[in-house]
Amino acid sequence: MLLIAFLLFALFLIPAIREARRGARDDARIHDLSEIKTDIEQYYNAHETFPMTDTSQPRHCVTSEGGSENPLWGASSSSSEESPRPRERRKRWFPYAYCPTNIDSEDGKQRVVGFYLQAALEHRQREEAGFDPEEGRNYRFRVFQDGSWTFYRICGGNEFSCGEEPAASPSP
């Protein structure tokens, strides 16, 4: 009888633990995107442009896995299609993507003035867009579905695919 009780307990406990771990990984990805955004803003402050990708084309994304160099992740980024997403979970997984979206040419020099960061999440979440002022993050974000995948996107610079800028609060 004790063995049956233990097996039933394990039968219900193991899936709950797996779900909790998936949620923790999603939270870690969202936190990582926030940290990467901070690094990108520091890059902008030093260079007056957001990082370029290999081709300097809008929507040419780089991911945190692959083979070419990128200033965001060191020597482990590669090009991807416009909407980076895994074809099959086990074969190809892009935890993070950086996509410059708005490029401005000034004095013959190209500058990236808008971008988004994106991560695939493991839990399906409701679609939403907004502004996250918590803990001083202050960024526009969007959660959206693409097929069976859920993505979390953070926008920066002049990129508004996450939503519009928040209305300025009136001065006292």
Contact status, residue 138 vs residue 132, Cβ threshold 8 Å? yes
Positive/negative CA dihedral, 84, 88, 89, 92? negative
Domain locations in the chain?
A: 2-157
Burial class (CB in 10 A: 0-12, 13-18, 19+), 123: exposed
Can you give the pLDDT at residue 46? 93
What pLDDT, in 10s, does the model give residues 136-156? 667 889 999 888 888 999 998
User: Given a cut of 80, is residue 95 above it in pLDDT?
Assistant: no
| Rounded Cα distance, 111 and 133, in Å | 27
User: Given a cut of 50, is residue 7 above it in pLDDT?
Assistant: yes
Pick the more confident residue, 90 or 109: 109
What pLDDT, in 10s, does the model give residues 37-88? 989 989 999 988 888 876 556 567 777 765 343 334 333 333 333 333 433 4
Contact status, residue 110 vs residue 56, Cβ threshold 8 Å? yes
What pLDDT, in 10s, does the model give residues 17-40? 999 998 999 999 998 898 899 899
| Beta strands at 97-106 and 62-70: parallel, antiparallel or unpaired | antiparallel
- On the CB side of 83, CA atoms within 13 Å amount to 10
User: Given a cut of 70, is residue 132 above it in pLDDT?
Assistant: yes
Can you give the pLDDT at residue 88? 40
User: Given a cut of 90, is residue 12 above it in pLDDT?
Assistant: no
Can you give the pLDDT at residue 154? 92
- Rg of the chain over Cα atoms, rounded to whole angstroms, equals 19
